[in-house]
Amino acid sequence: MDILLAILAVIFTFIGLVGCIVPILPGPVLAYIGFLCCYFCSFDQISTNSVWVYLALTAAVTIADFILPAYLTKLAGGSKAGERGATAGLIVGMLLGSLVGAIIGPFIGAVVGEIIKDSSDLKRAFKVGLGSFLSFIVGTGFKLILCIILLVKVFSEVFPALANWLSNLF
């Protein structure tokens, strides 16, 4: 059973890392499932506190990934129309299932929302769209950091020689 759990741990954390970029996959959640698989192996050294801490971080990063587009759109000077547009663009982009859709969707949605509200200020509309694009970059960065940490934890548990090498490296 340990071998199966170890294989699943590596597969899930790797797919979780890929899911940080591919919008249709919930990257941090999959990486956390891999981390849990590793936790349930008989040879693991992962503490129960770590399981709870990484669960909280996974939840926070996942929630932030949905909230950031509207929030950073507002910070860039966007109105409620821009926030709603960014959220709608994110959903449409994710439904299209493409990386380009998830990146450009919130940008286009925020710009369109602002133009519908006030078509006389195109410069502000594009600034708001840029804020929405920035949210994608920040959200993806948070997801990547968490998934890389989980991947390193899983690999160091599954492959102890890697853990020794990493501890000597740092």
d(CA 36, CA 74): 36
DSSP code, position 56: H
Q: Which tens digit of pLDDT belongs to each residue from 55-77?
A: 999 999 988 887 877 677 777 77
In the chain, the amino acid numbered 36 is L
Mean pLDDT of all residues belonging to the chain: 83
Of all helices (H) and strands (E), which one includes residue 105? Answer: helix 99-117
Give the SS3 label for residue 17: helix
Q: Which tens digit of pLDDT belongs to each residue from 101-144?
A: 777 887 888 888 888 887 787 888 888 888 877 877 888 889 99
d(CA 131, CA 74): 8
Of all helices (H) and strands (E), which one includes residue 157? Answer: helix 122-158
d(CA 61, CA 67): 10
User: What is the mean predicted confidence (pLDDT) over 69-94?
Assistant: 76
158/142: higher pLDDT: 142
The verdict on pTM exceeding 0.95 is no
